[in-house]
Amino acid sequence: MDTNEVHHSHCLEMTMEVHQVLPPPHKTTLHKLKTRLKETFFPDDPLRQFKGQPLKTKLILAAQYLFPILQWGPKYTFSLFKSDLVAGLTIASLAIPQGISYAKLANLPPIVGLYSSFVPPLVYAVLGSSRDLAVGPVSIASLVLGSMLRQEVSPTADPVLFLQLAFTSTFFAGLFQASLGILRLGFIIDFLSKAILIGFMAGAAIIVSLQQLKSLLGITHFTNQMGLIPVMTSVFNNIHEWSWQTILMGICFLVLLLLARHVSIKKPKLFWVSAGAPLLCVIISTLLVFAIKGQNHGISVIGKLQQGINPPSWNMLRFHGSHLGLVMKTGLITGILSLTEGIAVGRTFAALKNYKVDGNKEMMAIGFMNVVGSSTSCYVTTGAFSRSAVNNNAGAKTAVSNVVMSVTVMVTLLFLMPLFQYTPNVVLGAIIVTAVIGLIDLPAAYNIWKIDKFDFLVMLSAFMGVLFISVQGGLALAVGLSTFKILMQITRPKTVMLGKIPGTDIYRNLHQYKEAVRVPGFLILSIEAPINFANITYLNERTLRWVEEEEDNIKEQSSLRFLILEMSAVSAIDTSGISLFKELKTNLEKKGVELVLVNPLAEVIEKLKKVDEATDFMHADSLFLTVGEAVASLSSTMKGQSPTFLGGAHTVV
């Protein structure tokens, strides 16, 4: 007996089991809908903790869920308070100059910035779930709010209306944020990808810094536009207004602030250097201007500030009139931006300290914080990265550090406001420039370039859009590009050709694994995306092209007999997707090629079975669990060996 006969005899003795493709257990439509809604809106299953608990415990847990302060408050100790006291006083020293500076950035009275550092932190301390988040105004939201409202209303010509629109925008921002949390729609903010945020923040940081040239150079007449070209044109067209005293003071304090920031970056234990530097600069510059009567020498000062804590502002909210669309749009954009920053900062520090931050709770906390703030003379606030970093480094243990900061700001509002009368605007400009420089993340941009060129293009479009179009224009352009990328991935799903790795039963991408080889008579394709109405035309045309190319390439003595579609990555399919298989099967039969499906997942096989009951278009011997089993079984059929069926499973002899 020769070698071939021995091998053939051995094959006849060997039995290989081919596993059946089974549909999932039957579930009612209502059960499926319930499961889908739960996975969409409640992936964290917040109701899990209530299962099996008595009514009293459920009520306590519900109160703790809504008001996290009830969870950690009863366990609060004096040693924790000592840490929070130091952290609170430290961030207050940063919050006071930043509050005044960011309010000016938003074209609002400086006092509004301090108001926004008093009430919102108290609300967050009760509702927030982060221990490290330090609440207050932030540069990006301030810039966007000011620039969007200024397009229709002048803050100098009509300051009362501008203030009303700012408070109303804050109300809509809070309403939108809280709604996202209550309805558990937080995935909406995920459309602002990391690439978009890096590009947007870098562009905004440059725009913010350029806007400060008005204060740093002492220019009186400055453009109201935000773009790079109008700002630089305004700077050089008004050279005659430049004040050498202001420029000298600006350079000195800018160097001091940047030096303090550099020291704290190099030695994190010296965090207090950069945290206290802004307040120190404010004190020194104020004393200097007062001593030399700088306001008489071309150095502009803040002027007299209103004294006292937040007056109510609910009577200033405008829900009617021609500006309603503007405030809703401004609230939506500033709400998304501030929410994204707040949640990102909260999650960052939670990961560092190994505790969990509930994203939906944070949305509700930030949202209610802004709704309350809009009624108490505050504008949009969130968790600021620079302030939260200082809070974390200063040893904050709980949200009480926000309360300490708030009380410190209250004392300032009540008793210390006259001291800021001679504070020069140039110092506030220097503080803003130093704060926003940290938003330009070059290493992250380089990393995106190395990993994904399209993401880099999205980042660049956000950056350039902010610089040359507008703040919201750059954001819209980047979101549009990202959405286009997602649509391309949906409408043009990836399909790859698989080959067998010699000596194994493993099939992999021919382009990725060079050792993989094609199996004669088979075209094996892997579809790596859900199949739906948006991509069936592409998949049909692309698959038939694969078939035609394969038929052109194969040798004359062999022919293409089977098209195997590996469907492990096809997680979902709709009715249009089912029609794709029907159409493919019909087109392939005309070419003498049989369609075979491998490892269709639960939803796919369930829908295929339901259609099959009516039309009988997919037979049991066209469905396999693995590519290896499909090739082995169908190869024996090609050689004239018919498979037998034992106990519901294919058995190839």
Q: What confidence tens digit (pLDDT) does each residue in 615-653 have?
A: 666 677 788 999 999 998 888 876 664 444 333 334 333
Q: What angle do CA 119, 136, 281 make, to 5 degrees?
A: 115
Question: Beta 594-598 vs 562-566: how paired, if at all?
Answer: parallel
Label residue 366 by pLDDT band (50, 70, 90): very high
Other C-beta atoms lying within 10 Å of the C-beta of residue 309: 15
Owner of token pair 């169908």: 634
Residue range 244-270: mean pLDDT, rounded: 87
Structure-model confidence comparison of residues 462 and 39, the more confident one = 462
What's the whole-model pTM score? 0.77
Strands, E, within 119-210: which ranges?
Answer: 135-136
User: Is the pLDDT assigned to residue 182 strictly greater than 70?
Assistant: yes
Give pLDDT, residue 40.
66
Residue 590 tokens, joined: 């005309």
Highest mean pLDDT among 15-29, 223-237, 296-310, 370-384: 370-384
352: pLDDT strictly greater than 70: yes
Residue type, 537: T
Of residues 227, 242, 250, 304, the one with CA closest to residue 470: 227
* Helices and strands in the chain: count of H runs, count of E runs: 26, 11
> Mean pLDDT over residues 325-339, rounded?
93
Which stretch of DSSP H or E encloses residue 594?
strand 594-598
Nearest-10 Cα torsion for 484, 486, 487, 489 = 120
- Write down the pLDDT at residue 195: 87
Contacts 24+ apart (CB under 8 A), 266-270: 268/393
* Predicted local distance difference test score (pLDDT) of residue 47: 67
Q: How far apart are CA 567 and CA 539, in angstroms?
A: 13
User: How sure is the predictor about 113, in pLDDT bands with cuts at 50, 70 and 90?
Assistant: very high
Lowest pLDDT segment from 526-535, 559-568, 576-585, 612-621: 612-621
Structural domains in the chain plus CATH codes: 86-433 (no CATH), 495-637 (3.30.750.24)
Please report which confidence band the pLDDT of residue 8 belongs to, taking 50, 70 and 90 as the band edges: very low
pLDDT for 360 beyond 90: no
Q: How confident is the model at residue 7 (pLDDT cuts 50, 70, 90)?
A: very low
Element (DSSP H or E) covering residue 409: helix 400-411
Per-residue confidence (pLDDT) for residue 62, from 0 to 100: 83
Distance CA 327, CA 320 (A): 10
Rounded to the nearest 5°, which phi and psi values hold at 564?
-105, 125
Mean pLDDT of 150-172: 93
Contacts of 564 (CB under 8 A, 6+ apart): 522, 523, 524, 525, 596, 597, 598, 627, 630, 631
C-alpha separations of 48 from 277, 443, 526 in Å: 47, 41, 38
User: What pLDDT, on a 0 to 100 scale, did the predictor assign at position 401?
Assistant: 94
Q: What is the DSSP letter of 421?
A: T
β-pairing, 522-527 vs 562-566, is parallel
Confidence of residue 488 (pLDDT cuts 50, 70, 90): confident
Of 155-164, 181-190, 503-512, 586-595, the least confident: 181-190
Return the pLDDT at 617: 62
* DSSP 8-state code for residue 505: S
What is the pLDDT, as a whole number, of residue 224?
A: 67
